[in-house]
Amino acid sequence: MIPDWTRERQRMVDEQLRRRGITDERVLAAMLEIPRQEFVPIELRVISYRDDPIAIGFGQTISQPYMTALMAQSLELKGTEVILDVGAGSGYAAAVLGALGARVIAIELIAGLALLAAQNLQRTGRAANVQVVTGDGSVGGFASSRFGPTVPVAAASFRVWQLLQPAVSKTCLPAAGSPVSFRTACSIGSSAQRKKAGCAGNEASSIRCASKPTFYVLVC
């Protein structure tokens, strides 16, 4: 029997998100709108809206819905931002961010996953403002002095910045040439990784590690 996906999403929003303090109505609307089941393997779609990560192949998982919503809410998106999503996975988070910002560039190290993400986004009609790129977003950094005040960002390489710069320049730099500033949200998985990064507590408590070395998205 095929689940009632609309009802499943509503239950997810009401029980997993609202009850845990997700209050941004734009984030809640995006989570209610994006069909999460389309971003997980067919054989696991029946558990798409469980309060758990789900395996998506290649040894990777899609984050639990709450983590996706919490990271999106922490960015306080207004709809005008260009967003760099480091670690696209199956494309679900990029789809959510695409509903909240002006444009998303999602980078994924694993070529097979990047292809899967692109296909998922295209199939669900979310590819118009989301671009998936195969590459390594875990090395290097930004020359912050070139762009004025910034939050330190270590999860995106300079070659990724070269890719993103045209979009940033077009979207974020008015004629007066205002500097680009960055906001970040991170998700650090294991307790060992959190300790190494200086983020105490559980995964949820480490979302706003703006000066730490692991980041999830970049917003200008």
Residues 6+ apart with CB under 8 A from 181: 147, 148, 149, 150, 151, 220
Q: What local confidence, expressed as pLDDT, does residue 151 receive?
A: 27
Tell me, yes or no, whether 11 lies in a domain: no
Q: What local confidence, expressed as pLDDT, does residue 104 receive?
A: 86
Domain that holds residue 152: 66-219
**Structure-block tokens of residue 191:** 């307790």
How much is the mean pLDDT over the chain?
73
Q: 48, 63, 90, 157: which is the annotated catalytic residue? A: 63
Tell me, yes or no, whether 153 lies in a domain: yes
Give 84's pLDDT tier (boundaries 50, 70, 90). confident
| CA distance to 66, 82, 152, 220, per residue, from 53 (Å) | 10, 26, 28, 28
Tell me, yes or no, whether 139 lies in a domain: yes
Burial (0-12, 13-18, 19+ Cβ within 10 Å), 185: buried
Q: What local confidence, expressed as pLDDT, does residue 110 receive?
A: 92
96-111: average pLDDT: 89
Tell me, yes or no, whether 87 lies in a domain: yes
Tell me, yes or no, whether 97 lies in a domain: yes
pLDDT tens per residue, range 176-193: 344 444 555 555 444 444
Tell me, yes or no, whether 130 lies in a domain: yes
18 has a pLDDT exceeding 60: yes
Q: How many domains does the chain have?
A: 1
Tell me, yes or no, whether 80 lies in a domain: yes
Instruction: Tell me which amino acid residue 100 is.
Output: L
Quick check: is 63 catalytic?
yes
Q: What local confidence, expressed as pLDDT, does residue 140 receive?
A: 39
CATH number at residue 141: 3.40.50
Tell me, yes or no, whether 104 lies in a domain: yes
